[in-house]
Amino acid sequence: MRDKIIHKSAELFLNLGFKSVTMDDIATEMGISKKTIYVHFKNKTKLVEAVTFNLFDTICDGIDSICDNAPNPIEELYSIKMFVMHHLKNEKSSPQYQLKKYYPQIYDVLKYKQFEKMHQSVKDSLNHGVETGVFRKSIDVDFISRMYFTGMTGIKDNMFFPTETYNMNYLMESYLEYHLRAIVSEKGMTILNNFIHNQS
């Protein structure tokens, strides 16, 4: 039952927002009593925490699988973007922003976990790209992996990129291309241009 509650709550939170979904809403959606939810989670904050880190673990597992199977580091990044977008339902309700505003402690822990995961994952990908001649040999791998995380986090900030002007898919697509064009070799540029051309 605990897993079912987490799964249904994640769906509601991502579509409607952490703030607007109540314990009553979740109980009604699931056809169970609110008391049943409280058996597993002592309050809404504990439920939000469980949903957040469950989603984080699911996304990490998916990213690991993509990294193991991608034909090259360029397509790997695009596949990760598609996977994350699918899991976050295009962030209709800006869940990251709501988490930061209403559950700042959970947000801070999540951001640190995201940084640890992405920093290592992007470093591995960059090193692989350098070894295979897709990225320039002169790039500073540690610096670029930190910049990549900062940029990916920054485009989700509503203050700088309001959702009524920019949708998340456009932002991620544009940022990925911006990031890759800065680091690819000639070989990588050919792969990137062909990939973008085939997507359009």
- Contact indicator for 30, 5 with CB cutoff of 8 Å: yes
pLDDT, tens digit, 9 for 90 and up, residues 22-36: 999 999 999 999 999
Enter the pTM of the model.
0.81
- Contact indicator for 82, 66 with CB cutoff of 8 Å: no
Return d(Cα 140, Cα 126) in angstroms, integer: 9
pLDDT, tens digit, 9 for 90 and up, residues 132-155: 999 999 999 999 999 999 999 899
Q: Does residue 177 carry a pLDDT above 90?
A: yes
Q: Does residue 92 carry a pLDDT above 90?
A: no
pLDDT given for residue 180 in this prediction = 97
Q: DSSP per residue over 119-171, as a string?
A: HHHHHHHHHHHHHTTSB-TT--HHHHHHHHHHHHHHTT-TTTS-TTT--HHHH
Question: What domains can be seen in the chain, in order of their start residue?
Answer: 44-199 (1.10.357.10)
The candidate with the shortest Cα–Cα distance to 137, out of 67, 190, 188, is: 188
Looking at every residue in the chain, the average pLDDT score rounds to 92
- Contact indicator for 72, 191 with CB cutoff of 8 Å: yes
Q: How far is CA 84 from CA 28, 40, 53, 112, 119, in A?
A: 28, 28, 14, 18, 16
The candidate with the shortest Cα–Cα distance to 49, out of 29, 86, 34, 57, is: 57
pLDDT, tens digit, 9 for 90 and up, residues 49-82: 999 999 999 999 999 999 999 999 999 999 998 8
pLDDT given for residue 85 in this prediction = 80
Return d(Cα 152, Cα 143) in angstroms, integer: 14
Q: Does residue 89 carry a pLDDT above 70?
A: no
